[in-house]
Amino acid sequence: MKGGFRRRDFIQMSATLSWLGIFSTCVPKSNSTQENTNQTFSGDPCEDFSGISEPEFKVREAFGYVKDSPIAESQCKNCNLWKPPAEGLSCGGCTLFKGPVYDQAYCTYWAPIV
């Protein structure tokens, strides 16, 4: 099945999410992470990770998120999991992990809009 979302992919994604959920509850939050959430960010808003904890950022990495998609037709903006940017913002989000997401980004769980 070309380009489809297979049962095997769903099971693998479910297992990964379960594992990451368990992992994130077991990792103690450090004071440095809590301090970072109170800092203001003056750069690119799509690079602002100040409100994201270390375990949440690891979830993002586990999904293989990259800000420029290696597959032209598979970008976050045409993914079923994409959350469009709110009015006045330049980057959106994803239902799988926290934090800002570029519209031209990609992760290994890209799912076509059907």
**How many independent structural domains does the chain possess?**
1
Tokens of 68: 């420029």
Query: Is 100 inside any structural domain?
Result: no
Global pTM value: 0.62
Query: Is 14 inside any structural domain?
Result: yes
pLDDT tens digits along 66-75:
999 999 999 9
pLDDT tens digits along 4-60:
667 777 777 776 666 555 555 555 444 444 444 444 556 788 899 888 999 999 999
Q: Do the Cβ atoms of 65 and 105 come closer than 8 Å?
A: yes
Query: Is 99 inside any structural domain?
Result: no
pLDDT number for residue 97? 94
Query: Is 43 inside any structural domain?
Result: yes
Q: Residue 7 burial by CB count (10 A; 0-12/13-18/19+): exposed, middle or buried?
A: exposed
List, in sequence order, every residue forming a beta bridge with 82; answer none if it has no partner.
Answer: 94
Domain that holds residue 28: 7-94
